[in-house]
Structure 1
Amino acid sequence: MIKSERFVRVALLSTIGMLSMGVATAAHAQEQTPAATDTATADEEVGGEIIVTASKREKTLQDTPISVSVTGAEAIKRSQVRDLIDLQTLVPSLKVGQLQSSANTNFIIRGFGNGANNAGIEPSVGVFIDGVYRSRSAAQIGDLPNIQRIEVLRGPQSTLFGKNASAGIISIVTKEPQFKFGGNLEASYGNYNAIVVKGDITGPISETLAFSLGGNFNKRDGFSKYINLNQDNNNRNRWGLRGQLLFEPSDAFKLRIIGDYDKIDEVCCSISNIFDGPTGNAVRALGGNLVSNQPYALDSYANFASINKIDNYGISAQADFDLTDTLSLTSISAYRAVRSFTNADSDFTSADLIGENSNHTKIDTYTQELRIASNFDGPVNFLLGAYGFHEKIDSQAQLLYGKDFRGYANLLTGGNYSAFEPTLRALNGIPATVAPFGSQGLGRHEDYNYTNDALSIFGQLDFEPVENLTLTVGANYTNDWKKVATNNSTTDTFSTIDLVQTGANAGLPGSIPAGIYTPGILYPRTNSCSTVTGAPPASPGNPTRSGSCNPFLAFAPLQFLPGFLNFPNVVESGKTHDDNLSYTLRANYKFSRQLSVYATYATGFKATSFNLSYDSRPFAADFIPGSPAQVPAPAASPIRTAGLALANLTTGTRFARPEKSQVYEVGVKGQFEGFGFNLAVFKQILKDFQSNVFQGTGFVLGNAEKQSTVGFELDGSLTPVKGLNFTASVTYLDPKYDLFTGGSAFNPLTNTVVPTNLTGQTPSGISDWSVAVGGTYTLDVGGDNSVTFHTDYAMNSAYQIAQGLPYKASVESLNASIAFGLANGLEFSVWGRNLTEPQYNPVIFPGVAQTGSLSGYPPPPATYGGTVRFKF
């Protein structure tokens, strides 16, 4: 295993050396293959230049003054990139995290990104496929046939892409149907019985109508197991179909219709035990087991295998019409649907503590984009457009106790959970018809209805006052409306008991001072009394003020599922309305056809995100938490005045405020014969970054007032001789929470997440250095036959995995392939991914219902196999 720090130095020196060599070589490379900052196929090049649509116009990569990485079909094929999760090995600025299910994937660019684990949070990184927005990660990770290129636009892109692009854009472009018959067929077999088949066929139906039809099938045994179930985990089982029609009756009009359907039905994902906390012995006492203190273990225990079922489908129509020789109109209409069902044994042990943790989500999204663009010969050109968005989400979830939960609660309380039940029932008037505390099947039931409507008007003006200098100004005005209604309930009667009031009902002499009592905190016990730390000192008039001889308070940590205050109600409307003007100012100067520089200031915007989880709680301005039996009693607040207060109700957030970003960026682009590079230096700032933190029983949604990153990105490509191409990319990031007073971090003494002022700290999960290097050599062996050797290596320097904990991760990936291509279109290859099998945990989180334990996601093992392709 190469040491991370040493490799960073070596990789940087190698990159600088390659770039320097490229400059020296460029003048002698006139007859060599043109190079670019990705490995592109001939279909993606026009006159040796890569065409991209990052600016919603077809331009060469050199003429696109945006920090963008382009990964072509050839690079995707050679590196065996199956989906967007694999793409991060080729694009250092992009990080993709696979979380607890196939429906939860997080995309991060330049250290900014969110959106997984909560259907109410829109991602900060927008994903577009053939110009159509995919609003949630469940609709973004499927395999796609016949990809032409993937563009990763870094930094805020809200001027042209609206509210979905505060941190960046991933744009996937597939090939249009062709009026010449042809196609591709590919079949792979690898370890873990991995079978991947994909293909497409295209051709004319008439002189004006062409079609393409593609499909993919991806199945693999799991690379881990549930030990006690003897069943695979982390398998692959997904397939998809995609059809296109292209109607082109004239050079002035083109209509492209795309319909697709893909399905995922697999078991995912492995969870490892990083730290076996104080609850581990209770699990074992019940006869259960867990893989203890093995952070990289792939195998685990569970009562049932997880379920991940996703249906993703939609239809889109793009019409391009040349109004005149200099004006063109584009319309993109789309409907997308996602249906997902997940269920997992979330305690990750063979003890039946959590019997069900399921989620069923339906997402329907309608989008319409209309834009007009000019192509004048003069110094001024423009693009004007409008974008409409309507989305509806229906989400139902359940978390139910298993048959061992009651016994588990008794072990944690020395038998008192059951022993005190008759007393608690009597003191709170709970009838005998109510199920015993902690019974199997008790739990919480969630129902969320979410509607989002948005309208954007955008435009961009390019002005060339003198030759080779282009000044750009662009703006996007967005209105966004959201509406949420909940219908949540709990059948866990124990969690709805006011333990402070219970003590008062029992005539106990003390109570918790206002603002101190919080469900979920285990108060230290002394002589059967709970002493509250941090309480005001005792006084003659209130001798028990400093503590509470209320033994019932010891049960507070087991009140996992208290009642939920549904909204809208008379205090909370469940509605938000945001509007914003984002804009871009840019100057771009071309010294020559090969060299240009640009400077950009741009802003971005993402609208309010709702917390569609059981941890959605009233804002502090609407409610003062506490029990009426406290001394003194909680003061009046709007929710209390309206008579809506529930026992054990606490404050938090219903939604996170809008996220606003800005970037200062200077870039240089060079494209020479045999050598190319892109360099961007930037400072990027996000205000009110929407933070989503898991705290062991749910997610807390909040805002980081200000987070910034200073850094640079350097991509380079060198072709010293025909057939040989080197690529290198380096990203450096220096992130900081400039202001985050309402943050959360682990307490390293207890391994629990607690409120923490993170101002001045470095955000977790972000590497300082990310490096990707690769090489491809194609050797002509005669008769139009060839052998192609390829390897690429990606490395991220060590980063802190979780705020407050000392654990770090350093991620690396080595991929390689050898392909033998025949003149008749056949190609045979052998390949391997993740060959170094690094050990790291990209994410750490508190054990579910296991206070003091830590869980994480272990890395995947190496995969390898062989592929046969036929192009006709």
Structure 2
Amino acid sequence: MSKPLSTRALALAGVAATLIPQIAQAQDADTGAEAQTEIVVTAQGREQALADVPVAVSAVTAETLQNSGTSDIRELNQVAPSLLVSSTGNEANGSARIRGIGTVGDNPGLESSVAVFVDGVYRSRSGNALSELGPLDRVEILRGPQGTLGGRNSSAGMISIYTAAPTFDFSGYGAFTYGNYDAMRIEAGVNAPLGETLAARVDGVYFKRDGFYYDAVNDTDINNRDRYLVRGQLLFEPTESLSLRVVGDYSKKEEACCAATFVQADFAPLSRVSPGLDSFARPLPGAPSLTSTGNPIVPVVLALGQSPAGLTQSTFERTIYPTRGRSYEGETEDWGISGELNYDFGAINFTSITAYRDYFNSQGSDTDYTQLDLLYRTPGDNALSREFKTFTQEIRFNGTAFNDRLDWLIGGYYAHEKLETRDNVRFGTQYGAFAPCRVVLAINPALVSPASTGCLSAGGRAVLQAANGGVGAFGPATPLIFAGLNNLATVNDRGSLGEVYNQTSENFAVFTHNIIHLTDRLDLTLGLRYTTETKDFSAAFRNDNTACVTNQALLSGLLTTPLAGLAGGILGLSCQGNSTAGLDGKTLADTREEDQLTGTAILSYKPTDDLMVYGSYSRGYKAGGFNLDRSALGNPVTLNVNALDPRRLQFDEETVNAYEIGAKYATRQFSLSLAAFRQEFTNFQLNTFNGSVYLVQNINGCSEDLGLTDSDASPTTGGCAADNVAPGVIAQGIELEAALSPVRDLSVTFGVTYTDTSYVDDLIGNESGAPLDPALRLLPGDNMSNAPEVVGTTSLTFTPAIGTSGMRGLVFLNARMTGDYNTGSDLQYGKEQDGYVVVNGRIGLTDIGGRFAVEGWVQNLFNEQYTQVAFNTPLVAPQQMFSAFLAEPRTYGITVRGEF
């Protein structure tokens, strides 16, 4: 485990810091230096040199993408310091964050704060792009709210991926890669003219690899790769003014994902365990490990069959001990077709992008991540699944006016999306033995007997019955408590029989983006977007957990007595996550409508041809929606299944006001961009797992001092007057990116981001001023999860000529240094990740005979051990046990390429 900002990290930062001035001096010394290839982007809806775009944008070329081994958007982490892409319990839930802001969690009802586009076509969620991408032309990463240039609006940023397009030259290529973990990747494609006006291109990728985790119980591996992509394209250019590009693609994955290990002291030192969260938090030095028998829940887990090895190995051992017979197998299918039409009328250019996409993912899981059979989802049609069927239409007109003093753009966007989510999470065959033990631990840990019904032996029952002079430990209610525990013990292989959530959304928008050239060097950019969104929601439930209904009838009368806590604990575990037969056959429906006006204003000035400075304001927006999870219907202890209110599932739209100043400097061999920003989020949409259920909460601030009532355990304290509601999340910082080509065949890049992305000190829930959920009481005043303050990236590419035949060498290194951050959205201390450095490299020979290349490569060269997300281990988390989804270990291999 690396130390915070390890020696390697500091060395990397120091080398990069000294490298810039040294290489800049070398520019003057080497008059034969080759100029950098000018990077052209379409970040403002027009082709422009990157240095002339007055917005914060990172552009990654095809060469850099190939050298860095980018096959899906996760590898972009290495080349863009303000970006972080991660995945958790299901790759469909992949999350992209820019400047520390992103959509957290596994709920498809939340749209992505960072929108992903491939060839101008919106992907419904960031995780939909966690697949093979095939050959790429470039990637543009826009930072800050977007929306006035077209496509889907977003509140934090945009990732635009451009695949390699057909050309009118006949060519083909192939590549074969073999690496550790028995990795095999085959990629091939052919491009062919079909006449003077029509060209076609076909690309295919197949990737297979063993998993990074070994399942010691079921003797298999998890987190494997078995996927392929086929993409076909046609380019029709009958005249210089008209072009039509049609793209069709199909990809499929059949993989087991995603396993997790128990968090141990090598990841979470005991001094970090959150104080005050519950009676089992042990923050003092020398306290027992989270997974030692000194933690009261651990003897219960061991008694019910958990392998001790799973509780004593390192967090990063990658050997897991799930339930026998439970599977993580899943399937993903993603296909679509799009057509982009461009026509030049002379004074006006017209663009139309029409697309349809169908994305389906289904995944089984051992949902409690322990060897006990507590929660599970079986693979298959009724497993946890999501399907997006999305039609989008975008049109744009742009041109110039007033003797080229105005570059104007206007357009419209329409999206129709059908989302269907299914779930079949069930309590396992040992839930009835485990759940009562949590109650008995709260009564008297000495009485815990996991092998006995209700976790109470006959002797234990006798002790409780004889208390209070024979009246019983709970007075006249003692028999009811015993009966409630007995009923809880029957919750075995019960729960969802298949529940379905449907959401249909329609999005209309009109937008305009205009650049006014006030002088030859001074520009004013004004953009505006009006968006209207309608979402229709319905749900249907099937459930066979009758114990919930039985215990509600038995114990509800105790909820107004001094035994309310005990009765509520039994009821909460009996009806966990609102899993109850009372919902069987119930349906819900609701509609949500909203509209927003957003926009941007930018003033940019070029004092010299090589330097541009700018300042901007923009307002962004992300739609509200529905929490597609029955746990949000209400408190399971008091849920009235005959008076269900679907409005409880709604969350409000997220808005942001963003301010930025920046500068860009570019010469033939050196470019530098700087940006300072501040972004204020209102109704920030947070999704977090508290160990029992997923909470979706809008986060706001209060302009008055709440006196720490937002940090206590009460759900009723910490409210705010509606007039005092303020932004709840602030992201502010500085970004620097530099590129240098000081001498022939050598290029260096360097980027660093300092971001303070934090919750304000006084936090509330929605805009009405409602109190924050007590599960989030560590948030006020702290940094957001997965938002390190300091991130640095650097790369070096050296391609010297070897001999006179045209052959070249290739030496490529890139590195990402990440500072400390908390990986858990509830910010519990045991989920903090120390700073680390990930280094990738590639070395080889290219242009062998003008056709071939041989390259050796390594990802995560130093085998840095770090986590993507640490989370509360389901059901046992109230006793402070955490699990973690680990990042990938070191991988390496060799690639052979050929082309004609």
TM norm. shorter chain > 0.5: yes
Match of 1:731 among 750, 753, 758: 753
Distance 1:244 1:180, change over 3 A: same
Matched, 1:655 2:671: no
1:695 paired with 2:690, answer yes
Q: Is the 8 A contact 2:150 2:394 kept in 1?
A: no
In structure 1, the residue matched to 2:397 is 372
Match of 2:304 in 1: 286
- In the TM superposition, residue 147 of structure 1 has moved relative to its aligned partner by 0.2
Identify if the C-alpha distance between structure 1 residues 403 and 63 changes in structure 2 by more than 3 Å, giving closer, same or farther. same
TM-score, length of structure 1 as denominator length: 0.85
The whole-number CA distance in structure 1 between the counterparts of 2:230 and 2:45 is 27
Partner of 1:447 in structure 2? 500
Matched residue, 1:297: 317
Secondary structure of the 2:75 match is helix
Contact 2:193 2:200 in 1 (8 A): yes
**Map of 2:454 onto structure 1:** 417
Aligned to 1:748: none
Worse-matched range after superposition: 385-394 or 273-282? 273-282
Partner of 2:387: 362
Opposite residue 114 of structure 2, the aligned amino acid is V
CA contact (8 A) 1:83 1:141 kept: yes
Q: Please give the residue correspondences for 1:323-402 in structure 2 after superposition, counting only pairs within 5 Å.
A: 323-324=345-346, 326-356=347-377, 358-376=383-401, 377-402=403-428
Instruction: State the partner residue of 1:52.
Output: 41
Q: CA deviation at 1:151?
A: 0.7
Identify unmatched segments of 5+ residues in structure 2.
264-289, 441-448, 462-475, 701-727, 767-772
Partner of 2:828: 804
Instruction: After TM superposition, give the deviation of residue 593 of structure 1 in Å.
Output: 3.0
Q: CA deviation at 1:4?
A: 1.0
Q: Counterparts of 1:739 and 1:369 in 2: how far apart (Å)? A: 41
Displacement of 1:825 in angstroms is 1.3
Return closer, same or farther for 1:665/1:11 CA change in 2, 3 Å cut-off. farther
Aligned ranges 1:630-645 → 2 under 5 Å = 644-645=642-643
In 2, Cα distance between the equivalents of 1:30 and 1:379? 38
Question: Cα offset for 1:864?
Answer: 0.3
Cα drift, residue 170 of structure 1: 0.3
Q: Secondary structure at the match of 2:886?
A: coil
Cα distance, 1:4–1:626 mapped onto 2, change above 3 Å: closer
Residue 590 of structure 1: how far off its partner (Å) = 1.9
1:306-705 matches, cutoff 5 A: 306-324=328-346, 326-356=347-377, 358-376=383-401, 377-409=403-435, 411-412=437-438, 413=440, 414=449, 415=452, 417=454, 437-443=490-496, 445-497=498-550, 499=552, 502-503=554-555, 511-513=558-560, 547-548=562-563, 552-553=567-568, 555-559=570-574, 560-562=576-578, 574-617=590-633, 644-645=642-643, 653-705=648-700
Percentage of matched positions with identical amino acids: 29
CA contact (8 A) 2:677 2:732 kept: yes
Q: 1:625 to 1:217 in 2, by over 3 A?
A: closer
- Pick which of 482-491 and 160-169 moved more: 160-169
Cα distance in 2, alignment partners of residues 52 and 568 from structure 1: 53
Tell me which residue corresponds to 1:249. 238
Separation in 2 of the partners of 1:554 and 1:112? 35
Q: Contact 1:195–1:220 (CA<8 Å) still a contact in 2?
A: yes
Report the Cα distance in structure 2 between the residues aligned to 1:713 and 1:30, rounded to whole angstroms. 31
* Equivalent-residue separation in structure 1 for 2:394 and 2:139 (angstroms): 21
Give SS of 1:407's match: helix
Q: Deviations over 1:291-342 (max 9, x none)?
A: 1153223110122230221000000000000112x21000000000011111
Structure 2 vs 1, CA of residues 225 and 467 (structure 1 numbering), >3 Å: closer, same or farther? Answer: same
Once the 2 structures are TM-superposed, how far is the Cα of residue 118 of structure 1 from its aligned partner?
0.9
Partner of 1:160: 149
Structure 1 141/626 Cα, relative in aligned 2: closer, same or farther at 3 Å?
closer
Q: In structure 2, what residue type is equivalent to 1:78?
A: N
1:147 has 2:136 as partner = yes
CA 1:549–1:767: 2 relative to 1, 3 Å? closer
- Partner residue of 1:526? none
- Describe the superposition over 1:480-529 as per-residue Cα deviations: whole angstroms up to 9, x where unpaired: 01111111243212223455x52577xxxxx444xxxxxxxxxxxxxxxx
Which AA in structure 1 matches 2:311?
A: S
Shift of 1:87: 1.3
Contact 2:4 2:819 in 1 (8 A): no
RMSD: 3.1
Once residues 626 and 868 of structure 1 are traced to their aligned partners in structure 2, the CA distance between those partners, rounded to angstroms, is 61
Q: Does 2:161 align with 1:133?
A: no
Task: Name the SS for the 2:311 alignment partner.
Answer: coil
Structure 1 segments, 4+ long, off by >6 Å, are 418-424, 564-570
Q: Aligned to 2:159, which of 167, 170, 186?
A: 170
Query: How far apart are residue 419 of structure 1 and its match?
Result: 7.8
CA separation of 1:698 and 1:409: change in aligned 2, threshold 3 A: closer
CA shift for structure 1 position 871: 2.2
Matched, 1:719 2:771: no
* Per-residue deviation, 1:804: 3.0
Shift of 1:206: 1.0
Separation of aligned partners in 2, 1:29 and 1:117? 53
Look up the equivalent residue of 1:166 and give its one-letter code: S
Please say if residues 145 and 200 of structure 1, whose CA atoms lie closer than 8 Å, have aligned partners that are also in contact. Answer: no
Residues 1:841 and 2:867 are matched in the alignment: yes
Quote how far apart the aligned CAs of 1:773 are. Answer: 1.2
> Post-superposition shift, 1:209?
0.4
Note if contact 1:362-1:394 (Cα within 8 Å) is conserved in structure 2.
Answer: yes
Gap change, CA 1:665 and 1:401, over 3 Å in 2? same
- Are the aligned partners of 2:540 and 2:586 in contact in 1 as well (CA < 8 Å)? no
Amino acid at match of 1:285: A
SS of the equivalent of 2:18 reads helix
The residue identity in structure 2 corresponding to 1:841 is T
| Paired letter, 1:723 | D
- In the TM superposition, what is the alpha-carbon distance from 1:349 to its structure 2 partner? 2.2
Change (3 A) 1:21 1:598: farther
CA distance in 1, matches of 2:495, 2:406: 67
What is the rounded CA distance, in whole Å, between the counterparts of 1:353 and 1:566 in structure 2? 21
For normalisation by structure 2, the TM-score amounts to 0.82
CA distance in 1 between counterparts of 2:585 and 2:149 reads 34
Q: Report if aligned partners of 1:793, 1:813 keep a CA contact under 8 Å in 2.
A: yes
In the alignment, structure 1 residue 204 sits paired with structure 2 residue 241: no
2:885 to 857, 860, 866: 857
Letter in 2 for 1:787: G
3-state SS of the aligned residue for 2:320?
A: coil
Cα–Cα, structure 1 residues 222 and 351, in superposed 2: closer, same or farther, change >3 Å? same
- Provide the C-alpha distance between the structure 2 equivalents of 1:263 and 1:112, rounded to a whole number of angstroms: 29
Cα deviation code 1:426-479 (max 9, x no counterpart): 989x9xxx9982132444642101011010000011111211111110000000
Q: Distance in 2 between matches of 1:504 and 1:217?
A: 57
- What residue ranges of structure 1 are gaps of 5+ in the alignment? 36-47, 506-510, 514-544, 619-623, 628-638, 745-751
Distance 1:589 1:211 in 2: 43
Query: Quick check: 2:431–2:492 contact (8 Å CA) kept in 1?
Result: yes
Matches within 5 A, 1:94-243: 94-114=83-103, 116-161=105-150, 163-243=152-232
The answer to whether the 8 Å contact 2:578/2:630 transfers is: no
Q: CA deviation at 1:7?
A: 5.4
| Offset, 1:840 | 2.3
Equivalent pair of 1:156/1:168 in contact (CA under 8 Å): yes
